[in-house]
Every structure is written in C-alpha cells, then in structure tokens.
Amino acid sequence: MYSFMGGGLFCAGVGNILLIVSTATDYWMQYRQSSNYMHQGLWRYCTPGKCFPHNDSIAHLDATRALMILSLLACFIGIIIGIMAFIHYSSFDRFDKTFAAGILFFISCFFVFLAMAVYTGVTINYYGKRYGNWRFSWSYIIGWVSVVLTFFSGIFYLCAYRMHECPRSGTSH
C-alpha cells in the first residue's frame, strides 16, 4: 500500500512541476515569420529578442489558462492530502485521505487534459488552415506528459485505497 502511495506522490510531484513549467513558459508553439522564428505561450508571444503579453482576450487561451491553473491547484491539494495520508495513515469514517488524494489527481488530470484538448483543437484548426510553417513546442509537450503523470498518480492512490479497503471489508459484521 505504501509503495503505491509513494509512487503516486512521485508521479504527482513531477507532474505538478511539469504543470508549473508548462503553464509559465512561452514555448507552446513556434512559427516562422519572415525568416525569424517566433514562439508563444499562454501568457505572451515572443519575437527575436522581445516578448509581448497577449493583450486581447482570446477565448481559447483564457480557457487553457484557467484549466491549467485549476489543474495545478487540484494536483497541489492532492499532494498535500497524499502526504498527510502517507505520514499518518488513519482514515475517518467519512473521509479517507488516500481516496481523496486519488480523486484530486484524477480531477487534475481531467482539467489538464481539457486544457490541452482546447489548445490543440483551436491551434490546429486556426494555424493549420492559415499557416504552414508552425509546430507545437516543448512547453506543450510537457503539458501532455503531465496528463500522463497525474493520471498514474490517481491510479496509484486508488490502488493503495483499494488495498487498504479489501481487508477491512472482509472483516465487516
């Protein structure tokens, strides 16, 4: 049980770091314009030597930002509850920390998956039809890696919960 929880905490910790880096960096997409490489992230776009904030309220960027921040919060709270369950494992009758952490990791996975899907769909639909010389970059890729890591952290914590619940349900009245 503790090995599942340790694996879940490891995946969640790395996933949360990747979520922070992905959300904060400006390399979601790179494109070439008049022989210069430019790149953009969720918060700003950069030309060679200078970066500018996104001044317009672009719906898909706003949605992606909000979902990434919600994912960060869910993963961070899941890590806190997961550590509390790992350090002093005791479950209340109505609140099991292992189960709660697993559910929070799945919620984080769901939010970051939605964020990545929104960004991917709009970007491919818009840039794919209008421009030929663009590509997704490393910030975008580590966003997808964080989807996988938060998913596995949820799996690990729910496996730990299930291992703890099976012996207890067998000794019920």
Cβ–Cβ < 8 Å for 62, 68: no
Is residue 68 domain-resident?
yes
Is residue 119 domain-resident?
yes
State pLDDT tens for residues 1-14.
678 888 999 999 99
Report the pLDDT value the prediction gives residue 78, as an integer from 0 to 100: 95
Is residue 82 domain-resident?
yes
Domain with residue 143: its CATH number is 1.20.140.150
Is residue 45 domain-resident?
no
Is residue 40 domain-resident?
no
Residue 18's pLDDT band (cuts 50, 70, 90): very high
- Sign of the torsion formed by the C-alpha atoms of 59, 60, 66 and 70: positive
* Residue 40 CA, distance from chain mean position: 19
Report the pLDDT value the prediction gives residue 90, as an integer from 0 to 100: 55
Report the pLDDT value the prediction gives residue 76, as an integer from 0 to 100: 96
State pLDDT tens for residues 144-169.
999 999 999 999 999 988 887 655 55
Domain count for the chain: 1
The pTM score is 0.86
DSSP track, 83-116? HHHHHS----SS--HHHHHHHHHHHHHHHHHHHH
Domain that holds residue 138: 1-28+58-169
Is residue 90 domain-resident?
yes
Amino acid at 23: T
Among all chains, which residue has been given the structure tokens 């309220």? 57
Is residue 52 domain-resident?
no
Is residue 76 domain-resident?
yes
Cβ–Cβ < 8 Å for 101, 81: yes
Cβ–Cβ < 8 Å for 144, 116: yes
Give dist(CA 15, CA 20) in Å, integer.
Answer: 9
State pLDDT tens for residues 76-128.
999 999 998 877 655 555 568 889 999 999 999 999 999 999 999 998 888 77
Give dist(CA 140, CA 90) in Å, integer.
Answer: 39
DSSP class of residue 9 equals H
DSSP class of residue 91 equals -
Residue 173's pLDDT band (cuts 50, 70, 90): very low
Structure tokens at 173: 């009245």
